[in-house]
Amino acid sequence: MTDLEKMDERQKMMLWHMRDDYVHFRNLNDLTPSLYLLFDQLTDPQECLFSKYEKFTGKEKIQIIRAFTNWALEQEEME
């Protein structure tokens, strides 16, 4: 079973939001700044993804991050 298959619908929606933001950041920046900008969205109360991300448990957050990083790695390998 893949990371995505293990996730519930709320987690999948969060992942889609993260992917969209990452693609936007990646089109404007190198890899490292793009990752920092995305994670800032998750940890800064002033940012749009923070309120969505904070509703998850620690385990759910880790599952989302793992699925995101696996997806991001696939994107980098395709380039």
Q: What pLDDT does 2 receive?
A: 81
Low-confidence stretches of the chain (pLDDT beneath 70): none
| DSSP state at residue 79 | -
Total domain count, the chain: 1
Q: What pLDDT does 76 receive?
A: 87
Q: What pLDDT does 8 receive?
A: 95
Q: What pLDDT does 5 receive?
A: 87
Task: Quick: pLDDT tens for 24-37.
Answer: 999 999 999 999 99
d(CA 72, CA 16): 12
Instruction: With respect to residue 43, please indicate whether it lies within any of the assigned structural domains.
Output: yes
Instruction: With respect to residue 1, please indicate whether it lies within any of the assigned structural domains.
Output: no
Q: Where in the sequence is the domain holding 74, given as residue range(s)?
A: 7-78
Q: What pLDDT does 1 receive?
A: 75
Instruction: With respect to residue 2, please indicate whether it lies within any of the assigned structural domains.
Output: no
Instruction: With respect to residue 11, please indicate whether it lies within any of the assigned structural domains.
Output: yes
d(CA 38, CA 46): 13
